[in-house]
Amino acid sequence: MEHVASAAVRPHGHTEGGNTVPLIIITLLFFMWGLLTSLNDVLIPHLKSIYTLNYVQAMLVQFCFFGAYFIVSLPAGMLIKKIGYQRGAVTGLVIAAAGCALFFPASMNGYALFLLAFFVLASGITILQVAANPYVTVLGEPATASSRLTLTQAFNSLGTTIAPALGGFLILTEGAPAIAGLVRSKAEEAAAVQGPYLALAAALLALAVLFAVVRLPKISHAGDDSGAVSSVQTGVLAHRHLLLGAIGIFLYVGGEVSIGSFLINFLGEANIAGLSNGAAAHYVSYYWGGAMVGRFIGFAVMRYISPGKALAFNSAASIALILLAIFGHGQVAMWSIIAVGLFNSIMFPTIFSMALHKLGKQTGQGSGILCMAIVGGALVPFAQGLLADTIGLQLSFFVPAACYVFILYFGLKYAGMYNDKETV
């Protein structure tokens, strides 16, 4: 049986078994943007300390970073439609490299230029997201798209796991080896980002060269349509599961990013763990590492379990753990909030693939809508920051808890989505 989704974006000249190498190459992208995104969790408390920011001001980092997804996603879709997925990936890598390079002048010119650097970096990553996510969904059977996306997201999580510990070692005061044991000036603390981000810029440019020369299957849009804005609106109105999936992506990314953004400060609270920023950064790696482990588990389990049921179970577990962190203290609160990462694991790829189910020729535009919904990573942390400044950091975690309530609803509503024998 030919699935409707595969009619929208189809790889040429590659069989199911022949898609392994392209999938491996695309997975490199997932790793890199995971690394870059998770470094924000280290830079937020770092910049908060340097520039004496409150929580709302500090969350402008995520506002600019994830705001780029909303602004750039539709133009990115139009760009990729014109130049192709492979060239789109190269373009995204070059723009992301430029964003990393901007961290060098930003360290000497203040917080505003840092925010611009975050926006440029995220713009490049957005182009990569728009290209890579639908690419993965068509490199195999539609019924196992959730499983494939979960596998690639596991390597995304490898990047998010490595980044906080590495960033804590290279950037935060306690971890900078060249001046260990010394008190750094504000200028020296700001300059600590220069070396790591210039190295990342070089790595991204190297990846751009690799993608420019490697042979990847071309993907065509069968029955493509014109008029992006009107078609997008029609797609949302005609496919309720896409609309609810977009809300789910908005709230999931917002909740996950918000927890990561506040985690170092939360672990620094006297009634939780009283950790320094450098020491707490290692525990942020456990948070993202839990997502990595969970995605490898999910890759296997979700070939047999309904994606909707798995999503609902993980959402319920996340809500329970966040409530423990809100009302608990010490080790219980600390490990409860870290454990949320394990249950975050399957959420993004599962919501994404469920939302794109049977969209046909609107699959590419549906992907653009879902990538725009990643703007939740800009707005939800901002909302939690506002709450943290008014009622306290610990109680502010009600914000991500509320996000997972909707995801629980989405999972239960579409628990039987693949009951038409399209699953393995």
232 lies in some domain: yes
Count of domains forming the chain: 1
Spans in the chain with pLDDT lower than 50 = 1-16, 174-182, 222-232, 235, 421-424
At 409 the three-state DSSP class reads: helix
Domain containing 78 equals 4-413
Residue 100 lies in a domain: yes
Report the distance separating Cα 75 and Cα 237, nearest Å: 21
Residue 424 lies in a domain: no
Sort 276 into a burial class: Cβ within 10 Å, 0-12 / 13-18 / 19+.
middle
Please list, in sequence order, all residues whose beta carbon lies within 8 angstroms of the beta carbon of residue 269, skipping any fewer than 6 positions away.
Answer: 393, 394
Q: What is the pTM of this model?
A: 0.82
Q: Give the CATH number, domain containing residue 21.
A: 1.20.1250.20
292 to 159, 222, 349: CA distances (angstroms): 9, 34, 13
pLDDT value of residue 360? 74
Q: Is residue 409 part of a domain?
A: yes
CA distances from 424 to 65, 138, 144, 153, 309 (A): 37, 16, 7, 20, 15
3-class secondary-structure state, position 264:
helix
Closest of 163, 199, 193 to residue 176, by C-alpha: 193
Residue 136 forms part of a structural domain:
yes
pLDDT at 143: 65
Quick check: is 93 in a domain? yes
For the chain, the distance separating the N- and C-terminal CA atoms, rounded to the nearest angstrom, is 13
CB 29 within 8 Å of CB 89: yes
Dist CA 122 CA 100 (whole Å) = 10
Of the candidates 124, 96, 66, the residue with the CA atom closest to the CA atom of residue 255:
66
Residue 169 in tokens: 């070692």
- Give the 3-state secondary structure of residue 31: helix
Q: Which two tokens stand for residue 52?
A: 């004496």
Let me know if residue 228 belongs to a domain: yes
Task: Report how far residue 58's alpha carbon sits from residue 54's, in angstroms, rounded to the nearest whole number.
Answer: 6
DSSP secondary structure of 149-210: HHHHHHHHHHHHHHHHHHHHHHTSGGG-GGGTTSPPPHHHHHHTTHHHHHHHHHHHHHHHHH
pLDDT value of residue 178: 44
pLDDT at 349: 84
Give pLDDT, residue 13.
Answer: 43
Contacts 24+ apart (CB under 8 A), 327-332: 329/271, 329/272, 330/271, 330/272, 330/273, 331/273
* Residues sharing a CB contact under 8 Å with residue 175, sequence separation 6 or more, in sequence order: 168, 169, 278, 281
**Residue 313 covered by a domain:** yes
